Structure 1
């Protein structure tokens, strides 16, 4: 059952990967055309949502990031929960591998960046930039070459990227947050607690829609990332059916939401975030310590940290290689983890605040784009040319 569901998701993602890529390409073209000013002005335009006496006002780009992408993280959280309880990650050792790989994928890029930056007198505050993996783009690239690859690799990448981004979100909260609003945070946590208790009852889909909307609302009011709230809400959705012969609320939500996420949410997100202006770019800017430090952190640091920790976890019997996968395929996935893109650009804007065309911002974009593009291309090539199945069983399968 778990394999069937994962294959259905892969089929949708393979079709939507091209849509996502086209949306990102259009954004890049528009951002560097005569329509550039209108594009950025449109995304910066403030929109207001009124809920009773409370009004929430954010730029349109933030509505996409905090609103639409919360639905994406909800679906991702639902799938991770299903895989942990019923599927590929139900064995603790299979769960340990992507978690440890994600930790390695955060430590190594920071170390590579700091080592390079210190050697060439670069700015040290950029070390968090190459830590994040862009889940949406990494999965889109994977879907393009994943037709005959073991589905366990996608689960490995998805789990790793979630842990990776949660770590990046935690860093943002610690390093760049102006403080959390306690009262709405407590309300959001309370709503999650109530939902967890009454989730044992037989309740209809409108309850889950309303519950998620309320948790999302108070999370925004608390000035926390809504991705955290979405993953937390996914944890309280029941994984078991209430009646025999029915689908569980979790699987119903996965099937209903996934096409909208694949064909609407992610392309809109790509269009709103991939539009990077290359104004002010020259050869000198390409060779600065900030550009090279970020690019090397994403390309070199990510693959060393992710693949090294995955191999070490398997060698020490702490974890296990993804079922049916070869080490070459695991290495290809490790390369895809170097696709930092939108999350790295977001962290870069926080680490180097200033105008969008400032020298630091231009260098951040060049480093992120360079490291992400090289990682995506080489990762896709390695996966496309790797043997389709492992010649030897997994260390867990052999036991």
Structure 2
């Protein structure tokens, strides 16, 4: 076989594997971080701040390439994750209400404890305490590729549990933003968003299986949410929830078709772009002792300590109370490692930092804590899960 054909074969194999998507995400994140701390920082800033405004969206619309990625393209990521969860709810590891309850309970615990940790560290400083919600959300965009890259060391049911927990976490985080950090709600736009949601739900209930009603309805919902003051990526969540889970015999379901269409776009374009745009944190003048200031220390401890304690504690409590069983094939060591990865908080955390602190100094301190806490959580979870024994493959009956 010629070297060119061998290279092409390796590229196809890498593109089809979860490791390939995780590698693309990591390289894009390192590229953004590297450019932000190099003589090319101006180039990175120019790319992120590239003017890209649509007049039809008015003043509420994204004005830069970076804003379009965070507020627009990331809706596709949330739609894909919701579709994957819907597939598991239809015929997989989340096919019963008790299995859905476990990641939801874990998400709630993983929000309450980090907030309390942050408040304990910043208590008495009114300005700093406004950032209590910064460490409460697990970043599904970064956590999921890390888990996928671990391959067979994470059981499929455990992977689904973490994916569901991360998306519940992000949804709850968006609700927190809307309730505590959101701008004034524009009620006519919110009414339009409610009508678009009803239209999408009606199409799903009627069994409409063609993609275009959901694409158009999701677009209308995105615009309405954008104007309403709520986070527009919720449109991807709603559209994914409304897709029918059944199809005619021998035909792929709308959920399967959505996964086939969205997965390559999200894996190879949306997530790498998002990583490149959001990891450009300047480390110039950064000193270790700066992490001991209340805001970065509160954020870092909230992510590294509060998230795993909250998620693990709530999950174990739910199992002890017999509310839900642990995911199949998930021993305590694997569960603990996944709880460590829950401390990767980036997307929603960065957004909350911008909303919580008007003063640039405090926002920069919060970003430093987010970066340090997320990196430590990713490293700790990765090392732990590489050290614990991989689960034994399931035996076939007979």
Query: TM-score, with normalisation over the residues of structure 1?
Result: 0.89
* 1-structure distance, mates of 2:58, 2:66: 24
Q: Which SS does the other structure have where 1:369 is aligned?
A: helix
In the TM superposition, residue 157 of structure 1 has moved relative to its aligned partner by: 0.8
In the TM superposition, residue 376 of structure 1 has moved relative to its aligned partner by: 0.5
Match of 1:368 among 342, 367, 370: 370
Question: Is 2:218 aligned against 1:216?
Answer: no
* 2-structure distance, mates of 1:301, 1:171: 18
Alignment of 1:113-152 (within 5 A): 113-118=118-123, 123-152=128-157
* 2-structure distance, mates of 1:271, 1:166: 23
The alpha-carbon distance between structure 1 residues 215 and 84, as it changes in their structure 2 partners (threshold 3 A), is same
Tell me if structure 2 keeps the 8 A contact 1:101–1:310. Answer: yes
Tell me if structure 1 keeps the 8 A contact 2:245–2:253. Answer: yes
User: Where does residue 265 of structure 2 map in the other structure?
Assistant: 260
User: Where does residue 5 of structure 2 map in the other structure?
Assistant: none
Unaligned runs of 5+ in 2: 1-12
* Count, aligned residues: 381
User: Where does residue 45 of structure 1 map in the other structure?
Assistant: 50
* 2-structure distance, mates of 1:273, 1:64: 10
Residue by residue, what CA displacement relative to the aligned partner does 1:268-315 show, whole Å, maximum 9, x if unpaired? Answer: 010011111113322442321222111111000011000111111111
User: Where does residue 227 of structure 1 map in the other structure?
Assistant: 233
Tell me if structure 1 keeps the 8 A contact 2:209–2:254. Answer: no
* 2-structure distance, mates of 1:229, 1:386: 39
Match of 2:243 among 237, 242, 250: 237
Tell me if structure 2 keeps the 8 A contact 1:46–1:57. Answer: no
* 1-structure distance, mates of 2:125, 2:187: 42
In the TM superposition, residue 354 of structure 1 has moved relative to its aligned partner by: 3.2
Match of 1:185 among 190, 195, 198: 190
User: Where does residue 32 of structure 1 map in the other structure?
Assistant: 37
Alignment of 1:102-121 (within 5 A): 102-118=107-123
Question: Is 2:98 aligned against 1:88?
Answer: no
Q: What is the alpha-carbon root mean square deviation over aligned residues? A: 2.5
Tell me if structure 2 keeps the 8 A contact 1:329–1:386. Answer: yes
User: Where does residue 175 of structure 2 map in the other structure?
Assistant: 170
In the TM superposition, residue 117 of structure 1 has moved relative to its aligned partner by: 2.2
User: Where does residue 13 of structure 1 map in the other structure?
Assistant: 18
In the TM superposition, residue 49 of structure 1 has moved relative to its aligned partner by: 2.0
In the TM superposition, residue 263 of structure 1 has moved relative to its aligned partner by: 0.8
User: Where does residue 68 of structure 2 map in the other structure?
Assistant: 63
The alpha-carbon distance between structure 1 residues 46 and 284, as it changes in their structure 2 partners (threshold 3 A), is same
* 2-structure distance, mates of 1:55, 1:86: 40
Match of 2:203 among 194, 198, 223: 198
Worse-superposed segment, 382-391 or 91-100: 382-391
* 2-structure distance, mates of 1:51, 1:121: 40
In the TM superposition, residue 55 of structure 1 has moved relative to its aligned partner by: 8.8
The alpha-carbon distance between structure 1 residues 245 and 131, as it changes in their structure 2 partners (threshold 3 A), is same
In the TM superposition, residue 29 of structure 1 has moved relative to its aligned partner by: 0.7
* 1-structure distance, mates of 2:63, 2:295: 30
Alignment of 1:326-341 (within 5 A): 326-341=331-346
Unaligned runs of 5+ in 1: 1-7, 393-399
* 1-structure distance, mates of 2:57, 2:91: 41
User: Where does residue 378 of structure 1 map in the other structure?
Assistant: 380
